[in-house]
Amino acid sequence: MKPIAFFLLVMTMNTSTPIFDFTKNSNISSWRIVDDVVMGGRSNGQFGLNSNGHGKFSGEVSLENNGGFSSLRYDMETLNVSSYTKVCITLKGDGKPYQFRVKANKNERYSYIKTFKTSGTWETISINLNEMYPAFRGRILNYPNFNKTTIEEIAFLIGNKKAEKFELLIDSIVLK
Please name each of the domains of the chain with its CATH number: 16-175 (2.60.120.430)
Q: Per-residue pLDDT for the chain (176 aa), expressed as one digit of tens each?
A: 444 444 444 444 558 999 999 999 999 999 999 999 978 899 999 999 999 999 999 999 999 999 999 999 999 999 999 999 999 999 999 999 999 999 999 999 999 999 999 999 999 999 999 999 999 998 999 999 999 999 999 999 999 999 999 999 999 999 99
pTM beyond 0.85: the answer is yes
Whole-angstrom distance, CA of residue 171 vs CA of residue 150: 23
Backbone phi and psi for residue 37, each to the nearest 5 degrees, phi listed first: -60, -20
Backbone phi and psi for residue 11, each to the nearest 5 degrees, phi listed first: -65, -40
